[in-house]
Structure 1
Amino acid sequence: MTAEIDVLVLGGAGVDTIVRVPELPVPFADSHMVPAIETRAGQTGDFVSLAVHALGLRTHHLDMIGDDHPGDLVRQLHRDRGIPLTEVPQPAGTKRAVNLVGPDGRRLSLYDTSRSRETDRLPPATVTALAEVSRHAHVSITHPCAFALPLLRAAGVTVSTDLHNWDGANPYHEAFAHQADLVFVSTTALADPERTMRRIAERGRASAVIATAGAEGAYLLLDGELTHIPAVPPPAPVVDSNGAGDAFAAGFLFGWLAGEPPLRCGLYGAVAGAHACTVLATSTDAIGRDELLARAARARPAAPARSPLDDDIQGERV
């Protein structure tokens, strides 16, 4: 069957309330005056959908959404950006979170766990029908998506996932880590990033594992070789790190689906992630294809801060 969708994004639709705070952590006090509080649609699946769509890939988003105002915001975002959305009713309501963002762009996210139920599922027939006309599926680590992974495998699409700030031990993430062809993970909570990356590759089916490390860049594990992907200097001041990891994944996927060499995919990810850090999350703007390619062509990777992984790397390749 001919592919009609380049990237099918599962899960991760929701609404964030962005609170810009004077500093993180927020000092204890009865109250604080903050520069801004704004609620907008856009969680990890939304951000990946927006980012790959902006890069010219045919995109479709599937998730559970409530019949409520936050759900209306999610639906409106997709309509405004021209991204098809298949929604499954979510009786508990649309997912929501509060993100505290400091002056340097760092963030602390607070997720409302009341917006999900153990019985939540994406309809198998819907997942299969969409997967059968898709080239690739990017799966958010939300509860219903875990049950969709075998269906995606049966449909024959390649699968990617982002484990975000996994600690390398929580068993919840293992189903996603071990059933995806491409695995993204942040080094933030990993005591030994290289060990975790190699364990993912050994126990699962991933052909590549990518660990993002903020200003240090990222690390790519491919065919047993660990390679550093240098960070790219942001084109403007860093104001917000919300969505930077999603942008990196989208940039990497853009290159991967085009058949580019893995390190070029990593460069695309670094450029897209750097751009995301210069954009307020309330605007949900992603870098476009032409701008990504132009910046990648002239990119001069920043000298990375020293990382514990550096001792294990035999040499950087750019």
Structure 2
Amino acid sequence: MSAERAETAETAGTDVLVLGGAGVDTIVYVPELPLPYADSYMVPRVETRAGQTGNFVALGLHALGLRTHHLDMIGDDDAGDLVRALCAERGVAFTEVHQSGGTKRAVNLVGPDGRRLSLYDNSRSLPEDRLPEATVRELAAVSRHAHVSITHPCGYALPVLRAAGVTVSTDLHNWDGEQEYHETFAHQADLVFLSTTALADPERTMRRVVERGRATVVVATAGAEGSYLLVEDRLTHVPAVAPPTAVVDSNGAGDAYAAGFLFGWLAGEPPLRCARYGAIAGAFACTVPATASDSIGRDELLARAAELETA
């Protein structure tokens, strides 16, 4: 699709508009993490592929049968071509806006146990980058929900989404609970995801998000320890789900969790069931190599959820 123009004929009836988070990762498999200093390493594989947080959420939602449209800024470069090709191959509608600094890039170091360390190139985004307000408004008008990545152009789009009347979710990732930048997103979303990785007191941070913003549901993912769900002043621990096969990479697990949760949330399911859907989707993602971008499908997700409920 062309830059700075939404193709509304193709997006009418969109379930989820995903804003931001399109980019390319170079995956490097390393013998251990942290990686000790050495002049050089021989590694089994290095591969570059499209897929950052917005891409993975959009792909996950699409695989679950939700009508999904992705909007972001990318460059006229080889990395941008990879993003365009991924969306076209998977059938995810994509509206691109030109990013003069080029397409977002990162390097992911992946250890034998599936843990990853991401190194983001912050030279691609410029302070003046924006998603065109008219494009955001046009796409939001035909969408039920918007999931917003925490890139700075998306922060400027939040008031437009609120005015359009769509519900909004965001993922704060490894927020420490203190950095002001993240508060723009945390306080303007109805549903907030974040990781416990950098939080000294996850419950305190989750409650502050509710107290200071508009969120009615806050979810904190904790890897193998499961996740925590805050709804109506009640904090609930949701156990992790055993992956269906061996864990090979945790890359994209949080994005898969968000997609699974949103699948249930948009279907009107209770938050606890949504969290279980998220746990199932996240566990599946851990079995997919970082060089791939497979997502759990609707039938498999529901079948697995039914098994867990009857166990």
* Counterpart Cα distance in 2 of 1:24 and 1:219: 27
Describe the SS at the equivalent of 2:193: strand
1:77 matched to 2:95? The reply is no
1:109 aligns with 2:129: no
The equivalent residue for 2:224 is 215
* Aligned counterpart, 1:304: none
Answer yes or no: is the 8 Å Cα contact 1:232–1:300 preserved in 2.
no
Take 1:205 and 1:85, find their aligned partners in 2: how far apart are those partners? 29
CA RMSD, 1 decimal? 1.4
Structure 1: stretches of 5+ with no match in the other structure: 302-317
Of the candidates 132, 139, 156, which is equivalent to residue 141 of structure 2?
132
Over residues 222-243 of structure 1, what are the superposed CA-to-partner deviations in whole Å (9 max), with x where a residue is unaligned? 0100001111001111100000
With normalisation by structure 1, the TM-score equals 0.93
TM-score, length of structure 2 as denominator length: 0.95
2:99 maps to what in 1?
90
Q: Which residue of 2 aligns with 1:188?
A: 197
Q: Give 1:281 deviation, angstroms.
A: 2.0
Q: Deviations over 1:184-203 (max 9, x none)?
A: 00000000000000000000
Q: Measure, in 2, the Cα distance between the counterparts of 1:157 and 1:281.
A: 32
Structure 2: 5+ residue stretches without partners? 1-7
Q: Distance in 2 between matches of 1:170 and 1:149?
A: 18
State the alpha-carbon separation in 2 of the partners of residues 227 and 10 from structure 1. Answer: 29
2:293 pairs, out of 281, 284, 289, with: 284
Distance 2:55 2:308 in 1: 27
Runs of 4+ in 1 over 3 A off after TM superposition: none
SS in 1 for 2:47: strand
2:36 maps to 1:27: yes
- What is the SS of the residue equivalent to 1:113? coil
Cross-structure match for 1:202: 211
1:80-133 Cα distance to aligned partner (Å, 9 max, x none): 000110000000000000000000010000000110000000000000000000
Q: C-alpha offsets along residues 10-65 of structure 1, whole Å, 9 cap, x if unaligned?
A: 00000000000000000100001111100000000000000000000000000001
State the partner residue of 1:99: 108
1:3 is displaced (CA, Å) by 5.6
**What is the rounded CA distance, in whole Å, between the counterparts of 2:309 and 2:115 in structure 1?**
24
Which residue in the other structure is 2:170 paired with?
A: 161
Name the CA distance, whole Å, in 1 between partners of 2:307 and 2:57.
25
Q: CA deviation at 1:136?
A: 0.2
Q: Give aligned pairs, total.
A: 302
Counterpart pick for 1:149 among 148, 155, 158: 158
